[in-house]
Structure 1
Amino acid sequence: MPNKAIAAAALTLNAFVWGVSWWPFRALQDHGLHPLWSTALIYIFGLVCLWFWKPKAWRGFLQHPQLWWLVLAAGLTNVGFNWAVTVGDVVRVVLLFYLMPAWVVLLAWPLLGEKPTQGSMLRLVLALAGVVIVLKTPESPWPVPESLADWLALMGGFCFALTNILLRKLNHTPSETRMLSMFGGGAVMAALAAGIGMNAGLVTAPPAPQWAWAGLALFISLAFLVGNLALQYGAAHLSASATSLIMLSEVVFASVSSVVLGTGELSTRTLLGGGLILLASLLSVVTFGKR
């Protein structure tokens, strides 16, 4: 029992780190550091720490080249989420990001051979209905993404679902190499996207090193590293359904913190649509727990 309590606390800590991560990303942007550069720095720090801890982890790529797909998926997850919560309404972004039940239904069939069931189709309909309600504003005639943040959140959520499916599909590979894939993906894909964005005029060049932003970047790097370690510990000591359920608290942390600090909006439309999305997620957790 004590181990389970500690594991639950560890998962809650991870959800808290991700739920309030929008604030330091916005603070870093105020100092001139674009969220893509922030993401690259954070994951380079984690990558270096992992390299010292498990210096031979890279060898797993030689035996399992399919892990490069995990690098791509995990990296784009961070690119989408971290950029979106910096430039968009945090509540809206988090809800669109957590459209996982819909993406999982669409991806699990071709990648895992899991055909959709009546239950999974119900979750798909609920999640899509929630997204339609969230996206359909009085100003827009159709429920379509209306900003860069919307597109980034949807892309990040899709890649997040793909990451989780790939982790299941590649569970036979060394755990340290999977972790290296996720840290490496965050570093490489963020840096690559930042470079492309600079050429397109969407991303500014990183500012000269100053303690004002470097100290904050180091702090959030440590927070993400601790959060990831907490996730690894919690997920190893609790069932997948319990882990998924606790991780949904990220939505609460993000929504409450953004509303309190005046960067998020809890309109009736957002609450209703978000409720359907979260219901679909909860149903997927309950269903998975019964397997």
Structure 2
Amino acid sequence: MFNALIWGLSWWPFRQFQALGLHPLWTTVALYVLSLLVLSASQPQAWRELARTPALWLVTLAAGVTNTAFNCGVATGDVVRVVLLFYLMPLWAVLLARLILGERLTALAGLRMVLALGGAAIVLSPEGGGLPLPAGLSDWLGLAGGFTFALNNVMLRRQSASNGPAACALAMFAGGVGVAGTAAALLAGASVISWPGLPGPIWLLPLAGMALLFFLSNLSLQYGAGRLPANVTAIIMLTEVPVAALSALWLGGGQLDVKTALGGVCILAAALLAALERKASAA
């Protein structure tokens, strides 16, 4: 719940730092540097395991794109739409699990895909009619973040038997720093965004506090997910959606009309079915 709360509210500090001159890409780098340094110091052998495991390099890339896309999306676009499109990941997970893990497609998986696709079509449908396509960059970022998050999760399941949790966590933290940092440096070098800067050193304190909260939220997720059934964890993580939506509506970070609400119900129903399917498989 703590992890879902932090992620659901993360859009607000991202926007505050952006208003101060720190682009969300640079903020993402700052947030994951702390986690990366702590894990590197406490588990240095994880670097060797990561270096000799090409499959974890894909986890690094997927985790990096996930964090980069989601953080930039909620910082620059309608938070409600971005979060809902991000949670299309059950749809991508079905397809990727079939492709990478060889999992068979069940009737319940098919229903999840129909619900997710239907919800996405409703959310993305333009007011005057037409094809349900992303309306802007933030929509694309929400979709991309959800896809790479599903890829990240599928790859972690694939590697769980052969790689330790420290190496997997290191891959994700390294991705958060590496992908966001590379994108930020390239865009800053092309003068698309500014180089990192804050009005004064005092602003490093709230940035460090935010990094600490993200570090604690990751620890909380690892602790809780290691002790709860997978379906319970999945349902708890869905609380990120109402937290993000309600906070965005309250603080002016997004809008919720009937069309978006109806599509959101379909998308969340697909995610809940994914949790129920895991419970049935475990039983």
TM-score by length of 2: 0.96
The percentage of aligned residue pairs carrying the same residue is 46
Count residues with an aligned counterpart: 280
Shift of 1:215: 1.7
Matched, 1:238 2:248: no
**Structure 2 SS opposite 1:226:** helix
Report if the CA contact (8 A) 1:28-1:216 is conserved.
no
Which residue of 2 is the match for residue 28 of structure 1? 17
Report if the CA contact (8 A) 1:93-1:153 is conserved.
yes
Shift of 1:158: 0.3
Which residue of 2 is the match for residue 82 of structure 1? 71
**Structure 2 SS opposite 1:270:** helix
Matches within 5 A, 1:83-162: 83-139=72-128, 141-162=130-151
Letter in 1 for 2:118: A
Partner deviation per Cα, 1:87-143 (whole Å, 9 max, x = no partner): 001111000000011101111111000122221111101101101110113146221
Partner deviation per Cα, 1:7-61 (whole Å, 9 max, x = no partner): xxxxx00000000000110011011000001001111121111112212221212
Which residue of 2 is the match for residue 216 of structure 1? 206
Matched, 1:229 2:219: yes
Which stretch of the first structure deviates more once superposed, 86-95 or 203-212?
Answer: 203-212
Distance in 2 of aligned mates of 1:198 and 1:247 = 34
Return 5+ residue gaps in structure 2 as ranges: none
Which stretch of the first structure deviates more once superposed, 202-211 or 71-80?
Answer: 202-211
Distance in 1 of aligned mates of 2:16 and 2:128 = 30
Matched, 1:177 2:131: no
Measured on the aligned residues, the alpha-carbon RMSD in Å equals: 1.3
Report if the CA contact (8 A) 2:56-2:171 is conserved.
yes
Question: Pick from 242, 246, 263: which aligns with 1:252?
Answer: 242
Report if the CA contact (8 A) 1:77-1:157 is conserved.
yes
Distance in 2 of aligned mates of 1:140 and 1:177 = 48
Report if the CA contact (8 A) 1:60-1:177 is conserved.
yes
Report if the CA contact (8 A) 2:20-2:198 is conserved.
no
Distance in 2 of aligned mates of 1:224 and 1:43 = 8
- Alpha-carbon distance change, 238 to 204 in structure 1, aligned in 2, over 3 angstroms: same
- Alpha-carbon distance change, 141 to 271 in structure 1, aligned in 2, over 3 angstroms: same
Distance in 1 of aligned mates of 2:60 and 2:135 = 29
Question: Pick from 13, 17, 20: which aligns with 2:2?
Answer: 13
